[in-house]
Amino acid sequence: MKNIAIALFLIGIIFQSRAQSERLENPQVSLMEKSDHQYTAGWIFLGTGTAFIVAARAIPTKYDYYDGSSNQTFLSVLGWTGSIAIITSIPLFLSAGKNARLAAKLSLQNHTLYQPIPLDHPLPNFPSLSLKIPL
C-alpha cells in the first residue's frame, strides 16, 4: 500500500510540473476573440431571423380548394423560427459588449519591481494583471 501511494505521489508531481510549464493565455486577447465571435454570431442570428420573417411574409398562403391544404404551417414555422433567432441575437450582442468592456479593463503586462535598495543588476520584470475600474 505504501509503494502505491508513493508511486501515485510521484506521478502526480510529474503531471503537476508539466501543467505549470505551459504558457498561460492572455485573458485580454481571449476575451476580445470571444467578443468578436459573439458579435459575429449575433449578426448571423439577426440576419437569418430577418430573412426568415421576410420570407414568411413574402410567400403567399395558397389554399387549395380541391384537397383543402395550405402552406400556413410552413409560414408559421418560418415566422416563429425567425422571431426566435432575432430574440437570440439580443443576448449575444449584450454579452459581446460586456466581454469587450471587460477586455478593455483587463491587461496582462510585465511590470518592473522597484526596490528601495538599488542593486547592480537591472530591475526584474514580473508578469502582472492590471485591472482598471472606472468610477
Total-model pTM: 0.60
DSSP state of 131: E
Q: Which residues pair with 109 in a beta bridge?
A: 128
Within a 10 A sphere around the Cβ of 64, how many other Cβ atoms? 9
Alpha-carbon gap, residue 16 to 29, rounded angstroms: 26
**3-class DSSP state for residue 117?**
coil
pLDDT band at 135 (very low <50, low <70, confident <90, very high): very low
Least Cα distance to 39 among 91, 106, 105, 104 occurs for 91
User: Using an 8 Å Cβ cutoff, are 44 and 25 in contact?
Assistant: no
pLDDT, tens only, 10-68: 777 666 655 444 455 667 778 888 999 999 999 999 999 999 999 999 988 887 777 76
Tell the residue number behind the cell numbers 526584474, with chain if given: 124
